[in-house]
Amino acid sequence: MDLKSILKNPYVISLPTLIVPGLSHFLLGKKVRAAIFFVVVLSTFFLGIFLNGGIFFLKESNWLYSLASLGEMGMGLTYFICLLTGLNRTSPEIISSLMFGYGTTFLISAGLMNMLLMMDAFDIAIGRKVYE
């Protein structure tokens, strides 16, 4: 079984987006779209980090933060790197910062956008969605 035939599997082709946003679209030959998705999703995520958005994990003090962590997890590898390195991990300093709400919105949105990219790649792979 070669790499090409593995990548034809819609369940497999939707996963590379979790490593690099837009990678699934790139592998499907949608290079311009892949570049746009890469820039937009990563910009949204890192602007969220810069604006002091919180990186949450499942068990948080507030259930809304736990819910937010599910959205952030959509970023895949980038999220887990931030989580493991402790970058913007929720602390009283982060939560009380002026731009915490905005930053967190950016982070959750980036994760949700990445999830949409996974579903889009799946749809393209099974032929449900046809671009030009």
Nearest to 55 by CA among 39, 40, 75, 35: 75
Under 8 Å between Cβ of 45 and 106: yes
Residue closer to another protein, measured from CB, 1 or 130: 130
Give the contacts of 52 (CB within 8 A, at least 6 positions apart).
Answer: 88, 94, 97, 98, 99, 100, 103
CB of 22 to another protein, least distance (A): 10
Residue closer to another protein, measured from CB, 84 or 98: 98
CB of 99 to another protein, least distance (A): 6
CB of 109 to another protein, least distance (A): 7
Residue closer to another protein, measured from CB, 3 or 98: 98
CA separation for the pair 121, 50 (Å, rounded): 29
Under 8 Å between Cβ of 19 and 75: no
Footprint on this chain of another protein (rule: CB under 8 A): 33, 36-37, 40-41, 43-44, 47, 50-51, 98-99, 102, 105-106, 109, 113, 116-117, 120, 131-132
For the chain, give the longest Cα–Cα distance: 53
CB of 126 to another protein, least distance (A): 17
Residue closer to another protein, measured from CB, 66 or 105: 105
CA 124 to chain centre: 19
